[in-house]
Amino acid sequence: VLEAAEVGALQEGLTRVGARLANGAAHDAPDEDIHSLVERLLVEEAGEVALKLHTGRSRNDQVATDLRLWVRQTTPTLAEGVRALAEALVAFASTGVDVIMPGYTHLQQGQPIRGAHWALAHVWPLLRDHERLQRAARAAGTLPLGSGAVAGCPFPIDRDALAADLGFAAPTKNSLDAISDRDFLADLAYAGALTGVHLSRLAEDLVLFSSTEFGFVRLDDGYSTGSSLMPQKRNPDVAELTRGKSGRLVGNLMSLLTLLKGLPTGYNRDLQEDKSIIFDTVDTLRLVLPAAAGAVATARFRPDRIRSRLDTQLLATDLADYLVRRGVPFRISHEAIGRLVRLSEERGCSLADLSLDDYRSVDETFEADVHDVFDWERSVDSRSVPGGTGRTAVESQLEQARAALAAL
pLDDT digits (tens, 9 = 90+) for 139-165: 999 999 999 999 999 998 999 999 999
pLDDT tens per residue across span 83-93: 999 999 999 99
59-308: which CATH architecture? Up-down Bundle (1.20)
Please compute Rg for the chain using Cα positions.
30
**Superfamily of domain 312-406, CATH level 4:** Fumarase/aspartase (C-terminal domain) (1.10.40.30)
Active site residue 54: no
Task: Of 283, 294, 337, give the one whose Cα is nearest residue 315.
Answer: 337
Interval 114-136 mean pLDDT:
99
Residue 65 has pLDDT above 90, yes or no: yes
pLDDT at residue 227, rounded to an integer: 67
Q: Which residues have a Cβ under 8 Å from the Cβ of 323 and sit 6 or more positions away?
A: 332, 333, 336, 337, 363, 365, 366
Share of the chain above pLDDT 90, in %: 92
DSSP characters over 188-209: HHHHHHHHHHHHHHHHHHHHHH
Q: What is the DSSP letter of 114?
A: E
Q: Which of 36, 211, 227, 355 is an active site residue?
A: 227
Residue 400: which of 27, 107, 117 has the closest Cα? 117
Q: So what's the pLDDT on residue 1?
A: 78
Residue 254 confidence (pLDDT): 98
Does residue 359 sit in helix, strand or coil?
helix
The pLDDT of 194-216, averaged and rounded, is: 98
The string of pLDDT tens digits covering residues 370-399 is 999 999 999 999 999 999 999 999 999 999
Query: Given this chain, do its domains 59-308 and 312-406 carry the same CATH topology?
Result: no
Asked if 265 and 175 touch (Cβ cutoff 8 Å), the reply is no
- pLDDT per residue over 299-330, tens digit each? 999 999 999 999 999 999 999 999 999 999 99
Q: What is the pLDDT of residue 303?
A: 97
Q: What is the pLDDT of residue 24?
A: 92
Q: CA 21 from chain center: how many Å?
A: 35
> Which helix (DSSP H) or strand (DSSP E) does residue 138 occupy?
helix 123-139
Shortest CA distance to 89 belongs to which of 249, 253, 289, 355? 289
**Residue ranges per domain, the chain?**
4-52, 59-308, 312-406
Q: Please give the DSSP secondary-structure letter assigned to residue 266.
A: S
Per-residue pLDDT, 280: 98
Answer whether 0.85 is exceeded by the pTM: yes
Distance CA 242, CA 245 (A): 5
Position 57 scores a pLDDT of 87
Q: How far apart are CA 159 and CA 145, in angstroms?
A: 8
Provide the residue type at 248 as one letter. R
- Predicted local confidence at residue 230, as pLDDT: 73
Q: Does 106 participate in catalysis according to the annotation?
A: yes
pLDDT in tens, 327-346: 999 999 999 999 999 999 99
pLDDT reported for residue 86 = 99
Please classify residue 154 by burial: count the beta carbons closer than 10 Å to its beta carbon, then call 0-12 exposed, 13-18 middle and 19+ buried: exposed
Average pLDDT over residues 194-200: 99
In angstroms, the Cα distances linking 79 to 47, 93, 331 are: 43, 21, 46
Query: Quick one: angle between helices 391-406 and 123-139, nearest 10?
Result: 20
- Maximum distance among all Cα pairs of the chain, rounded to whole angstroms: 101
Nearest one of 297, 287, 288 to 217, comparing CA atoms: 297
What pLDDT, on the 0 to 100 scale, is given for residue 351?
95
Q: What pLDDT digit, counting tens, does each position of 237-287 carry?
A: 999 999 999 999 999 999 999 999 999 999 999 999 999 999 999 999 999
CA–CA dist 321, 314 (Å, integer): 13
Distance (Å, rounded) from C-alpha 169 to C-alpha 190? 23
What pLDDT, on a 0 to 100 scale, did the predictor assign at position 39?
92
